[in-house]
Amino acid sequence: MSLLSVENLYLQFDTDEGRITAVDDVSFELNAGEVLGLVGESGSGKSVTAKSLMQLNPSNSVYGSGSKINLELENNVMDVLSLKKAQELVIVRGGAISMIFQEPMASFAPAITIGNQMVEQLLIHTSLSKKEAAELSVEMLERVGINEPGKRFFQYAFELSGGMRQRAMIAMALSTKPKILIADEPTTALDVTIQAQVLELMKDLVEEFGMAILFITHDLGVIAQVADRVAVMYLGRIVESGPVREVLHAPAHPYTKGLLNALPKLDALDEPLTPVPGDIPSPLERPNGCVFHTRCPEAIADRCNVSIPKRVDVGHAHAASCFAIENVSEAA
Amino acid sequence: MTETPLVHIENLNVEFPLGRKLLGKPPVLKAVNGVSMDIMPGQFYGLVGESGSGKTTLGRAILKAVPISSGKILFDDGKVSYDLGTISQPDLKNYRKLAQLIFQDPYAALSPRMTVRDIIAEPLEVMEITKSREETDERVREIASKCRLNLEHLRRFPHAFSGGQRQRISIARTLVCNPDFVVADESVAALDVSIQADILNLLKSLQSQLGLTFMFISHDLSVVTHICDHVAVMYLGTLVESAPTRKLFSNPRHPYTKALLSSIPSLDPDDSKKAQKLEGEIPSPVNPPSGCKFHTRCIFAEDRCQREVPEWRELSQNHAVACHFAEKLASAS
């Protein structure tokens, strides 16, 4: 049994303009010591999926009745979606699962020192005394490569640079020793040279702490560098998933292929960029059938726009949902 | 070369005073420090650097949107020629028609209360380029179709459009007054990859259709190498290297350019280039390091780098660099 298993997650938002489907039948598993990359463009539902793991979505969200999020904690399996009270959720939020966000400036309270924020959450989630919590916090700051951690402990978020803030955020998220770390675009707001440092740090920490990371990003290059497995999302559905090498070297779904072709590549400067045709549909005008058929170059008339393709295995632990692949495998 | 550059920049400095001091001079932030460059007509000129490197300020200085502290910016399109340091008000008005800016965020750049038609037409009306409403409509329709917007789109409001469509509206608004020179400041940074490629292709085709010259500012080196003919790399307000794209990419001569190139995450999971990771972070521009500004993070730095500011020198045609050891670096790789 894996550390976390998400089964048929279905999530809608009730809005003034009607019900919007954000996550549609998403299933995946996460094992200890593994980095799962979740890639997709804006609006693909990757952040919403991650937030569901801690029930952090706004109050207008409606989960489907068949949705299950099972979290294994010391031989006892807990369905996160069945938790109702804030006290019960504390075990999950910040306890078993920690999250780091894209914009570290927005995640730290501006008027409380870094140290006090780190200590506060340790007091909630662990039985440490205030003094021990402070010691652990300084130790964690040092561990993530912040120099003069003793001094930074007493500083405010605005006094740190962007890269340092993100490191402090990581230190804070890891200090409670979570089983799962959700990293939502943790390097998107950083410069490339700093991004490289932070990615390196996260890889080291997975090895050291043996936790699992759900790494959300829109950048396939970042995925290639950190993830073991990857799931590609489009309009709330996982269209392809598999080991990172296989998915990037032999993409099966037309959307994954399109994404890879649209990326500027440094070793092929003469080749023109091929954009994925069309625009991402508005969530209010969700296409029927396969969600990608409106932009798909391989779409089959009267089939892709009518029914939803099933997941087809295309390799070892590598699957994609597409009729074009089904046809090929049937013919073979 | 006999061609005159469209934009000629000589030893440009842009400084911002920081607050006031009771005694002595207030501290100054040197956002752009001694930059010289030539942008040729028809060029797609790329400017890369990390946040805080002064690339946006440089772009704005060329548009005369920030005051120039010292140095020269000359604009010459063959018909008119202006010295932006001493330009007169009427000339500046005309210059505004010739040099335009495309913004980064298409969500913030468009007024939510104006229709797309009004958004695109506004520059024509403000700069009194067109005489009648019919003429304005004609110009708006023409540029809209070039930017692949439907006529039906013109009646709608920006909220009805996706990021890619909004950026096309924003580009149409920029180009409606027929500029010669366009500064595109991180114009694809806010877009998804599948859309980004589309906008890049559009910019490239508009450039050849309309004979535009672009200054393309970006932090994304792979985008820049793909679209630009010439790339300049900035660090803490100074240029560190400038070369034709291919040359810069195949033969970077400044350690910072090298480090930037190797920091781009590769699509190949097995390519875990441990080659060159930069240590530390970009220092504060208020109090930049002495000598070569990059020496605090440079793996090749020697004593000399702390003392002497490296000269901006040409290594080969169009390839200039500011590093004491540029020759050594080439042999090291």
User: Does residue B281 lie in a domain region?
Assistant: yes
pLDDT at B140: 95
Chain A residues lying within 8 Å of B54, measured CB to CB: none
Cα distance between residue B175 and residue B206, in whole Å: 9
User: Does residue A108 lie in a domain region?
Assistant: yes
Q: How many contacts does A have with B, using Cβ atoms within 8 A?
A: 123
Q: Is B192 on the interface with A (CB under 8 A)?
A: yes
User: Does residue A29 lie in a domain region?
Assistant: no
pLDDT at A177: 87
Percentage of residues in chain A with pLDDT exceeding 90? 47
When comparing pLDDT for B263 and A156, which is higher? A156
Highest mean pLDDT among A99-113, B209-223, B258-272: B209-223
Q: Is A39 on the interface with B (CB under 8 A)?
A: no
Question: What HEC string does B144-206 produce?
Answer: HHHCCCCHHHHHCCHHHCCHHHHHHHHHHHHHCCCCCEEEEECCCCCCCHHHHHHHHHHHHHH
* Tens-digit pLDDT profile for residues B24-61: 777 888 899 999 999 999 999 999 988 888 899 999 99
User: Does residue B308 lie in a domain region?
Assistant: yes
The CA distances from residue A251 to A325, B188, B253, B268, in Å, are 11, 25, 36, 13
Q: Contact, B173 vs B122, CB < 8 A?
A: yes
pLDDT class for B2, splitting at 50, 70, 90? low
* Tens-digit pLDDT profile for residues A16-34: 888 889 999 999 999 988 9
B165 closest CB neighbour out of A259, A269, A279: A279
Q: Name the residue in chain A with its Cα closest to that of B218.
A: A191
Contact yes or no for B265 and A225 at CB 8 A: yes
Strand partners, B319: B316
Cα distance between residue A163 and residue A190, in whole Å: 7
Question: What HEC string does B16-57 produce?
Answer: EECCCCCCCCCCEEEEEEEEEEEECCCCEEEEECCCCCCHHH
Q: Could you tell me the residue range of the domain that residue A323 belongs to?
A: 254-331
Cα distance between residue A277 and residue B143, in whole Å: 21
Task: Quote the number of domains for chain B.
Answer: 1
pLDDT at A332: 47
β-strand pairing of A4-15 with A18-30? antiparallel
User: Does residue B326 lie in a domain region?
Assistant: yes
pLDDT class for A210, splitting at 50, 70, 90? confident
Q: Is the pLDDT of residue B322 over 80?
A: yes
Q: Is B196 on the interface with A (CB under 8 A)?
A: yes
What would the mean pLDDT of A31-53 be, rounded to a whole number?
90
Q: Could you tell me the residue range of the domain that residue B254 belongs to?
A: 249-333
Chain B residues lying within 8 Å of A191, measured CB to CB: 50-51, 219, 282
Q: Is A136 on the interface with B (CB under 8 A)?
A: no
pLDDT at A246: 94
User: Does residue A292 lie in a domain region?
Assistant: yes
* Tens-digit pLDDT profile for residues A302-313: 899 999 999 999
Chain B residues lying within 8 Å of A219, measured CB to CB: 265
B197 closest CB neighbour out of A197, A269, A273: A273
Cα distance between residue A263 and residue A258, in whole Å: 9
Residues 153-172 of B with CB under 8 A from A: 162-165
pLDDT at A329: 59
Q: Is the pLDDT of residue B156 over 70?
A: yes
User: Does residue B153 lie in a domain region?
Assistant: no
Contact yes or no for B197 and A275 at CB 8 A: yes
Q: Is the pLDDT of residue A77 over 80?
A: yes
Q: Is B277 on the interface with A (CB under 8 A)?
A: yes
User: Does residue B296 lie in a domain region?
Assistant: yes
pLDDT at B331: 58
User: Does residue B188 lie in a domain region?
Assistant: no
Tokens describing residue A250: 């032999």
* Tens-digit pLDDT profile for residues B79-117: 899 999 899 999 999 999 999 999 888 888 899 999 999
A193 closest CB neighbour out of B163, B260, B269: B260
Residues A133, A134, A136: CA angle, nearest 5 degrees: 65
Contact yes or no for B164 and A220 at CB 8 A: no
Contact yes or no for B163 and A42 at CB 8 A: yes
| Residue bearing tokens 């690339």 | B55
pLDDT class for B167, splitting at 50, 70, 90? very high
- Residue B331: DSSP 8-state: H
User: Does residue A57 lie in a domain region?
Assistant: no
What would the mean pLDDT of B234-245 be, rounded to a whole number?
94
What would the mean pLDDT of A53-71 be, rounded to a whole number?
90
Q: Is A188 on the interface with B (CB under 8 A)?
A: no
Chain B residues lying within 8 Å of A248, measured CB to CB: 267-269
Cα distance between residue B64 and residue B92, in whole Å: 9
Contact yes or no for B282 and A42 at CB 8 A: no
User: Does residue A319 lie in a domain region?
Assistant: yes
Residues 227-256 of A with CB under 8 A from B: 227, 244-245, 248
Q: What is the mean pLDDT of chain A?
A: 88
Least confident span in A50-64, A193-207, B28-42, B51-65: A193-207
User: Does residue B14 lie in a domain region?
Assistant: no
Q: Is B274 on the interface with A (CB under 8 A)?
A: no
User: Does residue B285 lie in a domain region?
Assistant: yes
Contact yes or no for A264 and B223 at CB 8 A: yes
| Boundary-marking domain end, from A128, A145, A177 | A177
- Starting at the edge strand that comes first in sequence, how are the strands of the sheet with B28-39 ordered? B28-39, B7-17, B70-76, B81-83
Q: What is the mean pLDDT of chain B?
A: 89
User: Does residue A297 lie in a domain region?
Assistant: yes
B260 closest CB neighbour out of A192, A200, A263: A192
pLDDT at A163: 82
pLDDT at B274: 53
Chain A residues lying within 8 Å of B264, measured CB to CB: 192, 221, 266
User: Does residue A239 lie in a domain region?
Assistant: no
* Tens-digit pLDDT profile for residues A217-273: 988 989 999 999 999 999 999 999 999 999 999 999 999 999 998 888 777 777 778
| Boundary-marking domain end, from A125, A146, A177 | A177
pLDDT class for A36, splitting at 50, 70, 90? very high
Contact yes or no for B50 and A262 at CB 8 A: no
* Tens-digit pLDDT profile for residues B200-238: 999 999 999 999 999 999 988 888 988 999 999 999 999
Contact yes or no for A266 and B278 at CB 8 A: no
| Boundary-marking domain end, from A124, A142, A177 | A177
Q: Is A204 on the interface with B (CB under 8 A)?
A: no
* Tens-digit pLDDT profile for residues A291-300: 999 999 989 8
Least confident span in A85-89, A135-139, B76-80, B209-213: A85-89
Contact yes or no for B278 and A193 at CB 8 A: yes
Q: Is A151 on the interface with B (CB under 8 A)?
A: no
Which of A191, A228, A260, A274 is the mutation pick for testing B, counting most B CBs within 10 A?
A191
pLDDT at B102: 92
Complex ipTM: 0.79
pLDDT class for A72, splitting at 50, 70, 90? confident
Percentage of residues in chain A with pLDDT exceeding 70? 98
**Among the listed residues B189, B253, B263, B255, the one whose alpha carbon sits nearest the alpha carbon of residue B224:** B189
Task: Quote the number of domains for chain A.
Answer: 2
